[in-house]
Structure 1
Amino acid sequence: MKQGLGYAIIAYIAWGLLPIYWRLFGTLKAGEILAHRVIWSFVFMLLLIFLSKGKGKQLWSMLTNRRTMLVVGTSSLLISANWLIFIWAVNHGHVIESSLGYYINPLFNIMLAVIFLREKPTGAQWLAVALAGVGVLIATIDYGRIPWVSLSLAASFGLYSLVKKKVSYDASTGLAGETAVVFPLAIAYIVYLYASHQSTVDTLSTLHFVMLLLAGAATAMPLLWFAKAASRLPLSMLGFIQYIGPSIQLMLSIFVFKEPFSPMLLISFGFIWSALVVYALASIRVARVVKTNSVTT
Structure 2
Amino acid sequence: MFARVNGNVIATIAFVLWGLLPLYFQFTPQADTNELIAMRIIFSVPLMLLILKCLKIPSLTFSNAMKNKRSLCLCFIAGILNCVSLYAFTWAITNDQVLAASLGYFINPLFSIAFGVLFLKDRLTWAQKAAVILAVCGIGYQVYFYGELPWLSLVMGSFFALYGLIKKYIQFDSLTSMSVEVTLLMPFALGYLVFGFMDGSSTVLAGDMTTFWLYAGAAPVTLLPLVFFALAVERTTLTMIGLTQYIEPSLQFVLAVFIFGEVLDQVKVVSFGFIWIGLILCTVEALVFSRVSMRRA
Q: TM-score, normalised by structure 2?
A: 0.92
Does 2:221 correspond to 1:218? yes
Does the 8 Å contact 1:46/1:176 carry over to 2?
yes
Q: Distance in 2 between matches of 1:28 and 1:214?
A: 13
* d(CA) in 2 for partners of 1:51, 1:7: 17
Match of 1:200 in 2: 203
What is the rounded CA distance, in whole Å, between the counterparts of 2:196 and 2:211 in structure 1? 19
State the match for 2:41 in structure 1: 38
Separation of aligned partners in 2, 1:286 and 1:125: 13
- Distance in 1 (alpha carbons) for counterparts of 2:290 and 2:167: 22
- Please say if 1:176 is aligned against 2:179: yes
Contact 1:41 1:219 in 2 (8 A): no
1:97-124 deviation per Cα after TM superposition (whole angstroms, max 9, x unaligned): 1111100111111111111111111122
Amino acid at match of 2:46: V
- Supply the distance in 2 between the matched residues of 1:123 and 1:9 (Cα, whole angstroms): 27
**1:253 and 2:256 matched:** yes
- Find out whether 1:244 has 2:247 as its counterpart: yes
- Residue 166 of structure 1 corresponds to 169
Which of 272, 276, 285 is matched with 1:273 structurally?
A: 276
5+ unaligned residues in a row in structure 2: which ranges? none
Provide the rounded CA distance (Å) in 2 between the counterparts of 1:63 and 1:145: 43
Could you tell me which amino acid in structure 1 is paired with residue 44 of structure 2? Answer: S
Match of 1:99 among 99, 102, 109: 102
- Structure 2 residue aligned with 1:83: 86
Partner in structure 1 of residue 6 of structure 2: 3
Partner of residue 110 from structure 1, selected from 113, 138, 155 = 113
Q: Distance in 1 between matches of 2:270 and 2:54?
A: 50
Amino acid at match of 2:161: G
Aligned-residue offset at 1:187 = 0.3
* TM-superposed deviation, 1:27: 4.5
Bigger CA drift: 144-153 or 166-175?
A: 166-175
Unaligned runs of 5+ in 1: none
Between the aligned partners of 1:46 and 1:237, the Cα distance in structure 2 is 29
Q: How many residues align?
A: 294
Distance 1:203 1:253 in 2: 31
Offset from partner CA, 1:36-89 (integer Å, 9 cap, x none) = 011111121122334554431111111111011111111011001111111111
CA distance in structure 1 between the partners assigned to 2:71 and 2:20 by the alignment: 33
On the 8 A contact 2:92/2:101 being kept in 1, the answer is yes
- Looking at structure 2, the residues matched to 50 and 167 of structure 1 have their Cα atoms a distance apart, in angstroms, of 21
1:236-277 CA-to-partner distances (Å, cap 9, x unmatched) read: 222111111111111111122222210121111111110001
Compare 118-127 and 210-219 and name the one that shifted more. 210-219
Q: Give the TM-score normalised by the residue count of structure 1.
A: 0.92
Contact kept, 8 Å, 1:17 with 1:249, in 2: the verdict is: yes
CA shift for structure 1 position 172:
2.0
One of 40, 49, 54 as aligned partner of 2:52: 49
Amino acid at match of 1:143: Y
CA contact (8 A) 2:127 2:278 kept: no
Q: 1:30 touches 1:84 (CA, 8 Å); kept in 2?
A: yes
Q: Distance in 2 between matches of 1:113 and 1:52?
A: 31
